[in-house]
Amino acid sequence: MFIDYVEIDVQAGRGGDGRISFRREKFIAKGGPDGGDGGRGGNIIAKADANITTLLDFRYRRKYKAENGQPGGGGLKTGRGGNIVSLKVPVGTIIKDIETDRVIADLDENGMEAILASGGRGGKGNDHFKSSTNQTPRQATPGRAGERLKLTLELKLLADVGLVGYPNAGKSTLLSRVSAARPKIADYPFTTLVPNLGIVRLRDFQSFVMADIPGIIEGASEGKGLGYQFLRHIQRTAVLLFIVDGFEEKVKETFDKLYGELKKFDPDLVDRKIVRVINKTDIIDGDIVEKMKIDYPDYLLISAVTGDGVDSLLNRLQQALDGTDEIEQY
């Protein structure tokens, strides 16, 4: 099951209390203070792991608590620190504090770590309070409480190219043709229910990652359809690939509607390079295809089923990603 948003509670460990203790040594009538400090409470950290692709585990366990620090001991012994709790999350996870909406971490590289909640500091033992006028201090400080936060974990897939289009425009078919990804393909709307990633391999050992999300419909920015909840997964892309069904009567109008929904969702989302494609030329009359080439010079005409025009499309995408093209933002 693909889960890309969860809310969790985290509680870092409390620091151990400082110790009140005095030396007891042979032939020494009155030993001095030797109470040790308490250990620090355990932190709660998050670590990005490329082997994890969903936040599913956090759906069934929402509360995480780190171990408390141990109290100090005699002989100036510091208490043991609490064990750290490490939460493994997919690469691309953004973690926010629900109360302040502050971004605590954006783990966009494998192996990245971030402290989500810091453990409390241990208390001071009575050795810290000795002085010339107080040689037998009977005071120590308690350990401090660890941080407690309510957090959101939001997964944004890392991809170079994001596919945008209405349901059944052929996005999944294109992804399956140019990569090893095998998304569900059928002749009814919303066959894609979750985002899919595919690695597109090019010549000269180059490659890029392409993301397919459920089809967007008019009103998606207001929560209609399935595409809205997954639009976050193309927020990190460098290039947006708009795919229009060749049977659409008004290609330009369809593109404008798709573009408008993305802009309403996130104005920054459309502030990047855009490639436009008309798909399904394999089932369109040849004369109409030739007319489309004249009417829509900014669009590449392809057939994701037969592969016609796909090589030219990949070249265009590679140029857009390399910065060697002349594609301008819309």
pLDDT by residue, tens only, the chain of 330 residues = 567 789 999 999 999 999 999 988 776 666 789 999 999 999 999 999 988 888 888 988 999 999 999 999 999 999 999 999 999 999 989 999 999 999 999 998 999 999 999 999 999 999 999 988 888 899 999 999 999 999 999 988 778 898 888 887 888 888 888 887 665 544 434 444 567 778 888 876 788 888 887 656 555 444 444 445 567 777 888 899 999 988 777 888 889 888 888 888 888 877 889 999 999 988 888 888 898 889 899 999 999 999 999 999 999 998 888 876 655 544
Point out the domain boundary residue: 114, 136, 155. Answer: 155
Check: pTM over 0.75? Answer yes or no: no
Query: Under 8 Å CB-to-CB from 253, ≥6 apart: which residues?
Result: none
Whether 328 is in a domain gets the answer no
Residue 182 lies in a domain: yes
Same domain, 184 and 239: yes
Are 145 and 184 in a shared domain? no
Task: Tell me, yes or no, whether 125 and 221 share the same domain.
Answer: no
The total of structural domains in the chain comes to 2
Q: Which domain holds residue 19?
A: 5-155
Domain identity same for 207 and 120: no
Of 252, 267, 273, 260, the residue nearest 220 (C-alpha): 260
